[in-house]
Structure 1
Amino acid sequence: MTMDALKNRGFLSAIALSFALAPAIALAQTAPPSDASDDDDGQRGEAPNSSPRRGAVPSGQGGGILRPKKKDVEPEKAPLVKPKIVHFENADYPQAAIDAAVSGVVVLSLAIDPTGAVTEAKIHQGLGYGLDEAARDAALKFQWSPATVGGKPVPVKILFPYRFTLAEPEAAEPEPPPTVGNLIGTILVAGAEQPLAGAEVILVKSGGTTQTTLTGADGKFVFSAVLAGAYQLQVQAAGFEPVDLTETVVAGEETDVTYRVAATTEELEVTVVADRPPREVTRRTIDRRQMSRIPGTSGDALRSLQSLPGVARPPGLIGFLVVRGSAPQDTRAFISGAEFPLVYHFGGLSSVIPTELLDRIDFYPGNFSAKYGRLMGGIIDVELREPDTQCHGDFGDPLDTYGCFHGMAQFDLIDMRVMLQGPIAGDWTFAAAARRSWIDVWLTPALEAADAGVTSAPVYHDYQIIAETKPTPRSRLSLRFIASDDELELLIKNPPDQEPGFGGNLRFATSFTRAQILYRNALSKSVDLDTMVSVGSDIIDFSIASVQFQVEAMPVHARSEFGFKIADGIRLNTGLDFQIAPYDVYVRAPPPPRPGEPAPGPFTLRPVSESHESGLGFRPSWYAEAEVRPVPKWLLVPGLRADYARDSGQGEFSPRLMSRYDLFGGSGDRGTWTTQGGNAEASDAGTRRTTLKGGAGVFRQPPEYQETDPVFGTPGVDSNRSIHYSVGVEQEITEHLELGVEGYYKDMQNLVSRGVSATGDYEYNNEGSGYVIGLETLFKYKPDKRFFGWLAYTLSRSIRQNGPDDDEYLMQFDQTHVFTILGNYRLGHGWEVGARWRYVSGPLTSPVQSSLPALYAADAAAYTPLRGDPFSRRLPNFHAVDVRIDKAWQYKSWRLSAYMDVQNAYNNPATEQLLYNYNFTKERYQTGLPLIPSFGLRGEF
């Protein structure tokens, strides 16, 4: 063939091939490859054709094969098989494109080699915003089945559209519909439009169960997480008309209500935040937090009383209270009005009621209400807490639900205690606690190893059980059982020279039980009822050498008080106070020496007398008090108490009078309103309270049972009598700072003392007298979220006289100066630190005569001291620092805490008494305990 013919043949073949491939090329350029679009829709990690996510990139929608044009192309016989996408790579949707809401198609030019790999990706048509680069990077990771011609893989280039689509966000899982809501509200004084604090708000639920809260200083209240539904809401406040309405709680919403309460009287003063004014001149209260955090007390509530004004420091390891210069037996402790015989276990290291069960301690150092009698010193009234059944969420967050159990266990070097509280059945709740000392566990082996002659180191136990219910929203029924047991046994191998008979076994054991029923009911707006009945047993067993003292008694104590609102500004409180006690007493001991005569030899070697007597102690009382407000700022409380003591055969009347006057009104937290005709006007708002107070009263105390015993005492001895006078001022300085200063004087007459009768016989009489004068200062920082503390100072002098012709002398426990400063601070992260420093005048002692200190008793082969003036020598002053550190770890469902309580941190030995040699010619100080560290762990849920 000629060259022209060959050229024409090639040209014709090319034209024929172009016409043959034209439909395929057109199809490739106008429609997406079916394999690619069917196999992958652009969703990363998802099945093809699934709905795209926001920012997901769908697959390309077309590709065209590009072949270079050649003029001389041999006609191909076999058709081209298009490449098919095997792996599609999702591109990341750039944030810039998402923010700008850009979507569309990026057209890529892809070069695919015979293996199906993408060797080149170029932007043919772009969108910007980072989409072009994202599409190119993803396309380079595509994998194709190779294009083939005649079954042989061939390289090809195609145009591939990469589509970016902004998908709608996926719908979130629907939340379950709420079932609870919140009920909040505000209580205002009608007319004054001022918030009413301290109002009781009661939410009555289905089945009659109730939930109660008090309005705050802003008059607001909150019930959180309340099940949706209708509820009866009651608002009660003294001096205002009650509110009783129905409110509906809507699920998922907060119902906000406002009530305006109208006054019930023509003229009434309303205290906004402060507690009801006390019926006593002075009441000092220690709340739950302060009880457990005062340094030097190992967290013991009743030991914290020794840090208050008017309380003297007791001798080391002796557990009693000396209040305003009175003898220890002149001050008693009560549990919700029921007297109990002991305050502390042996050594005064721990009180008989654990701190965890106490709600508060009210301390009345003198001039107390006519509700209390038979005492001349002070009153300690302990209120037990209601069992706690409030539920808590994770990490201790309190919830607005009830019916949960709580437990506690604590271990330290002194004792171990456990407590459990929670619901029982119906509306009943319970609390149960037990405690045992560890002193005998670690002290007994040590003393036995030292051959100290210890049979049993001190050991004590106590138990408490409480069951309570609220029959109505305004009443409370509480059943309690309290028990305590102490025991000590010693084997004295080497008695002191002054008491050669003071050897052998020494045993001292005490125990008591109390079963108590307490019922309180606000019968109406004007009438209250408070009733208590207590039944128990008291046992004392003491023996040393030839001396024995055993007492068994079954005391019954009953109280019932009615409170009546007689008229506007006048309220009457009247009640009965009965004590009945069958007893059995056995005493074997030497009688005391005659006044002015030396003792006939050592006490344990003197001739002994015996007495075994059974009887019935019966001391009924009636009392009445009126709370009168002549003007809104003045509270006057006259009272009268009538007592009878069967053992002495005496009946007596004790009139009392207390007065409190708010010279200036309350602060922003404690304002007052005067209401007239149902309208209210604010008065003294924003003024810090200044209160003047004072009182006077007669207080009688029957003689001790042994003082009227026919063998050891004198039947017919009258009651002791004391007249209390006090005057003071309370000044609020800031919301938390308060200063109180009070002066007092006690005139004591008719005191039981020992003397010689006209016939020369030794007997008890009522010729004793005395007085106490003092000044108390308390500068207090009321507890806030982080700190509490106070500075207390007492200046006092306590004088006694045994008879009208005898010399006066200082009372045994007189302490001129008692200064205490303490504080506790929450550092955060579970850390809490506190410290206390005390400075106290030294104890008094009766020294021996300097010229002739002792006489030799030949029959006893021992010296008998000749004492000088009673309590005429004061030993060195006492001062000590106590430190406490607490650390708590809050876990999801329980709490762990550790503490270190160090008493006498700088180890200053306290001088307690004088000791003499065998003939009383040499003396030395007996010191108290050194530095005492106590470590403890506590877990609770």
Structure 2
Amino acid sequence: MSRLILLFLLSIPVVLRAQNAKVLEGYVFELPSEASLPGANIYWKSNPQSGVVSDINGKFSIPVISLPATLIVSFVGFEPASRQITAKDVENSVRFFLRAEELSLEEIIVRERAPDQNIRGLEMGKSSVPIETIKNIPALFGEVDLLRSLQLLPGVQTAGEGTTGLFVRGGSADQNLVQLDGAPIYNPSHFFGFFSVFNPDALSGVDFYKGNIPANLGGRISSVIDIGLKEGNYQKIKGEGGIGTISSRLTVDGPLFSDKSSFVVSGRRTYADLFLKLSSDENIRNNSLYFYDLSGKFTFKLSDKDKLSVSSYFGRDFLGISEQFGFGWDNWITSITWNRAIRDDFFLDVNGYHSYYKYLVSFEDPDSGFLWDNILEETGLKATWTWLPNQASSLVWGFHSQLYRFAPISLKPEPGSVIEPIATNPRNGLQNNFFVSYARELTDRISLEAGLRANTYNQVGRGVKYIYENDIPAPESQLLDTLSFGAFESMKFFSGLEPRVAFRYLIDPMTSLKASYNRTNQYIQVASNSSAGLPLDRWIPAGFYIPPIIGDQFSLGIFKNLQNNTWELSLEGYYKNFQNIIDLRQGASIIFTDNVETEILAGRGYAYGAEFLLRKNVGKTTGWLSYTYSRTWRVIEGISENLPFNPRFDRPHDIALVANHQFDKRWSAALTFIYTTGQAVTFPIGTYMVDNQRLPLYGPLRNEDRFPDYHRMDASVTWKNRDQGKKWRGSWNLSVYNLYGRKNPFSYQFTEILNEDIRFDPNTGPVTSRRPGVVMTYLFTFLPALTYNFEF
């Protein structure tokens, strides 16, 4: 079957050469900045039902019809432009400049796509979320957060209160690829998961794929979150920022050397540590708690056909307690992208990147001090060719090479410390991917996309292979020998094919039926005791005893628009199958061991669900209502008596409501409501005594219990200062997280209650009574925040 698909895809260019036709090439820019305007609609006035959309560089290519003819360019929130096109114009690139409409705020917030794109496009399980929409959603501490906004979409579960971890259609958090300008980010969170690392003022938008993932994207089996830094203004210096409850931010952009180059620089920092300095307690004053991030993008228009951009992001978190304990982590990514229009219908995009992630834990003590750190790195090169032979078809192909470096985990004791030094061996991998995808509108009603992604993965040295008795890694297995491998020496080789197919049938102009199938391979994954995603999570590459994960997803959906695209309605169902998915043995410890394979078990899993979405796109009141029914299961020999069990993020019912209302030019309000089934957990079935202490006893079955159902309502109000023609524009945002003060459990502790007082210290007096008890911890109830936002 795979050979037939490959032969079919290789024959496509031969067929397309006969179909090549003249095209008109052009660019779309916004005024007054003259920045590229991606996503603009371009169509001939005589044929408004067929058109194209400008790419990320504002470039478009549309097949030529009988000339002269009028070409229309439009974008939601901008005044449309039209031009009479003659045969002479086809010989050169044409340029359109669109000016923003003055009274289009509610449209800018909600209408980020071409009309009917959800009906006519082949995309399934894809959401393109504009930054303006994200900024209007009420946020924790008033901090606008991209990843938390994605949690409001159907098919996305959360790890718990206040966290940004995403669990998409039954997959774990490490099965999501989060990339910024093409570079992956391994820990996209600040403050232990309470905030994501992305400053919304510096972003151009986000594409979220959870279903029909294009063949040019891969590496994770659940989703791809593709985020872009925005381009700077080519004409004048502009800025925006905000002063919030716990942090402030500033973004400045403008021309760099001339109107052919631009820059964007952005910074954000929390000042929680500054408040600590005001404490009268010396121990508190010596504590540190902060995060900050810096990002920049420099864009150069080398010619009418070439553009080069350089992006970089750096973020740091640190927690220090009394100058004795320190815990922190860094993210640093760099990305270079070259876009070239080879000819009117043929484009090349080349992206090189480096991603660096480091965490450390330090403890200063003369008897037991130590420094523990680890580094993860990924370097990649990706080239993509796009051919648009005519309006009805497109061909995309290319390659993506990746080098993984997982440095040894190191624990170094301080001089005189009784702690023993610990060091593990490095783990490295080299992955190569080759992809091709062809999309064609076969008839007025039927469109088809077929793609294939082939990948190879080689675990390479430096590294070691441990030889176990009977070749079975287990805690009780005897270690027989150790094989050492030199730098880049081949250790273990894997390969795989990932066919991808999508189909769309247009039932009527406002209704379509879609289906898709995706296979994806993932060669690195996380082994962790926590489902929430922690800075210390152990990433494990595929190797001798740990095969890559294979995921198969089948999707079917019906999509309908109502009242002239005012409303969107969709219902999607999916089934996913996982192979070689890993989990930890009961009581496993993997932080410092080099024999991590002895603590890991591999098996299979499956997930299924249905997602309902009703969305209002225009008017003073906009937003969406979503409901998801989903189940996910794991079957792993050695866990839960080999019976199917739910991972912690299995939450059958999920409801999300998002509403925005624009009262007038200056006043607006937003509200969100979330309801989900409680997460699956394992509660103790009894207790037992050890050294006169009562400890919880757990049964053999995993995650048979559940937390109470989770629900929360957030609200915000925004007031804009009166515009008096000044360059400075400001607004105030008051948000309330957990409006009605719901005490959603974050954790439960099973302990002994002495003298009927959970806080009783037995060193302070006699113990007169003991009984087992449960202590619930919750994080936030009614939590207001005030933010001042500005532009200049």
Which TM class, normalised by the smaller chain length? Answer: 0.7 to 0.9
1:872 to 677, 694, 704: 704
Could you say which structure has the larger radius of gyration?
A: 1
Whether the 8 Å contact between 2:585 and 2:600 is mirrored in structure 1 is yes
Amino acid at match of 1:884: S
> Could you say which residue in structure 2 is the equivalent of 1:733?
562
Structure 1 counterpart of 2:742: 908
Structure 1 Cα separation of the partners of residues 136 and 331 of structure 2: 28
Secondary structure of 1:410's counterpart equals strand
SS in 1 for 2:424: strand
Following the alignment from structure 1 to structure 2, what is the Cα–Cα distance between the partners of residues 279 and 347? 37
Confirm whether residue 488 of structure 1 aligns to residue 319 of structure 2. yes
From 834, 840, 844, the counterpart of 2:680? 844
2:431 matched residue in structure 1: 619
1:98 paired residue number = none
Q: In 2, distance between residues paired with 1:657 and 1:940?
A: 44
**Would the alpha carbon gap of residues 445 and 726 (structure 1) be closer, same or farther in structure 2, given more than 3 Å must change?**
farther
Identity %: 19
Report the residue type matching 2:385 in the other structure. F
- Matched to 2:408, the amino acid is V
2:62 counterpart SS class = coil
Count of aligned pairs between the two proteins: 639
Following superposition of structure 1 onto structure 2, how do residues 510-909 of structure 1 map, counting pairs within 5 Å? 510-542=329-361, 549-565=372-388, 569-587=392-410, 610-614=422-426, 616-647=428-459, 649-666=492-509, 688=510, 690-704=511-525, 715-734=544-563, 735-754=565-584, 763=598, 767-782=602-617, 784=618, 786-803=620-637, 806-850=642-686, 853-856=687-690, 858=691, 864-868=695-699, 869-889=701-721, 890-892=723-725, 893-909=727-743
Post-superposition offset of 1:577: 1.3
Following the alignment from structure 1 to structure 2, what is the Cα–Cα distance between the partners of residues 272 and 771?
35
- Matched AA of 1:800: R
AA partner of residue 309 (structure 2):
S
Per-residue CA deviation, residues 502-548 of structure 1 (Å, 9 max, x unaligned), is xx955321112122111223322332212111124321113578897
Q: 5 Å matches for 1:434-453?
A: 434-443=267-276, 445=278, 449=281
What do residues 605-627 of structure 1 show as CA deviations (whole Å, max 9, x unaligned)?
Answer: xx999333335432222222221
Partners of 1:378 and 1:911 in 2: CA distance: 28
Taking the aligned partners of 1:763 and 1:306, their CA distance within structure 2 comes to 35
Please state whether the residue corresponding to 2:715 is helix, strand or coil: strand
Query: Does the C-alpha gap of structure 1 residues 649 and 285 become closer, same or farther in structure 2, counting only changes over 3 Å?
Result: same
Question: Secondary structure of the residue that 2:551 maps to in structure 1?
Answer: strand
How many Å separate the matches in 1 of 2:59 and 2:605?
52
> Residue 273 of structure 2: SS of its match in structure 1?
helix
Q: CA deviation at 1:940?
A: 1.3
Change (3 A) 1:484 1:565: same
CA pair 442-404 structure 1, distance change in 2 beyond 3 A: same
| Residue 171 of structure 2 corresponds to residue 348 of structure 1 | no
In structure 1, what is the equivalent of residue 64 of structure 2? Answer: 240
Deviation (angstroms), 1:484: 0.7
- Is 1:315 equivalent to 2:151 in the alignment? no
User: Partners in 1 of 2:114 and 2:268 — Cα distance?
Assistant: 41
Query: Is the 8 Å Cα contact of residues 229 and 297 (structure 2) preserved in structure 1?
Result: no
**Structure 1's 814 and 830: CA in aligned 2 closer, same or farther, altered over 3 A?**
same
Name which of 338, 342, 361 aligns with 2:206.
361
Q: Partners of 1:326 and 1:465 in 2: how far apart?
A: 32
Higher alpha-carbon deviation: 519-528 or 457-466: 519-528
Q: Output the aligned Cα RMSD.
A: 4.0
| Shift in alpha-carbon separation, 1:640–1:202, aligned structure 2, 3 A | closer
1:291 counterpart residue number: 134
Kindly indicate whether the alpha-carbon contact (under 8 Å) linking 1:407 and 1:420 is maintained by their aligned counterparts in 2. yes
Q: Residue 574 of structure 2: SS of its match in structure 1? A: strand
Q: 2:223 aligns with which of 365, 375, 378?
A: 378
Query: Contact 2:372–2:411 at 8 Å: present in 1 too?
Result: yes
Q: What residue ranges of structure 1 are gaps of 5+ in the alignment?
A: 1-197, 221-233, 248-254, 265-270, 390-402, 492-503, 590-606, 667-687
- Structure 1 pair 924–281 and aligned structure 2 pair: CA distance change class (3 A): same
Q: Give the alignment of 1:73-92 within 5 angstroms.
A: none
SS of 2:189's equivalent? coil
Answer whether contact 1:332 1:378 (CA < 8 A) is retained: yes
Partner SS, residue 575 of structure 2: strand
**Cα–Cα, structure 1 residues 841 and 755, in superposed 2: closer, same or farther, change >3 Å?**
closer
Change (3 A) 1:771 1:560: same
Deviation at 1:767, TM superposition (A): 4.0
Match of 2:777 in 1: 926
Deviation at 1:646, TM superposition (A): 2.6
More strand by share: 2
Between the aligned partners of 2:526 and 2:660, the Cα distance in structure 1 is 43
| Residues in 1 aligned to 2:649 and 2:436: alpha-carbon distance in whole angstroms | 34
**CA distance in structure 2 between the aligned counterparts of 1:454 and 1:627, rounded to whole angstroms:** 61
Partners of 2:542 and 2:437 in 1: CA distance: 36
Aligned-residue offset at 1:897 = 0.8
Q: Name the aligned partner's letter for residue 573 of structure 1.
A: V
Cα distance in 2 for residues equivalent to 1:243 and 1:382: 39
- After superposition, residues 499-518 of structure 1 pair within 5 angstroms as 506-518=325-337
Structure 2 vs 1, CA of residues 435 and 827 (structure 1 numbering), >3 Å: closer, same or farther? same
Where 2:343 maps in the other structure, the secondary structure is coil
Change (3 A) 1:257 1:719: closer
Match of 1:331 among 133, 152, 176: 176
Question: Relative to structure 1, is the Cα distance of residues 584 and 235 closer, same or farther in structure 2, using a 3 angstrom cutoff?
Answer: closer
The corresponding residue for 2:266 is 433
Give structure 2 stretches of 5+ with no counterpart: 1-22, 47-57, 72-80, 91-112, 413-418, 460-490, 529-536, 587-594, 754-770
Q: TM-score, normalised by structure 2?
A: 0.73
d(CA) in 2 for partners of 1:256 and 1:841?
Answer: 52
1:405 to 209, 214, 237: 237
Give the conservation status (yes or no) of the 8 Å contact 1:210–1:473: no
Deviation at 1:649, TM superposition (A): 2.4
CA distance in 2, matches of 1:716, 1:235: 48
Cα deviation for residue 569 of structure 1 reads 4.5
- Give the stretch that moved more between structures: 698-707 or 708-717: 708-717
Q: CA deviation at 1:422?
A: 0.8
Q: Distance between the aligned counterparts of 1:786 and 1:746, measured in 2?
A: 39
CA gap of 1:909–1:506, structure 2 versus 1, over 3 A, is farther
1:360, 1:508 → 2: CA distance? 32
- Contact kept, 8 Å, 2:607 with 2:633, in 1: the verdict is yes
CA deviations over 1:437-488 (Å, ceiling 9, x no partner): 1222225655x7497x685343111111111133344543211121111111
Query: What SS does structure 2 have at the residue aligned with 1:810?
Result: coil
Mapped to 2, the partners of 1:639 and 1:811 lie a distance apart of: 32
The answer to whether the 8 A contact 2:158-2:164 is kept is: no
| Comparing 556-565 and 829-838, the one that deviates more | 556-565
Question: Quick check: 1:842–1:911 contact (8 Å CA) kept in 2?
Answer: no
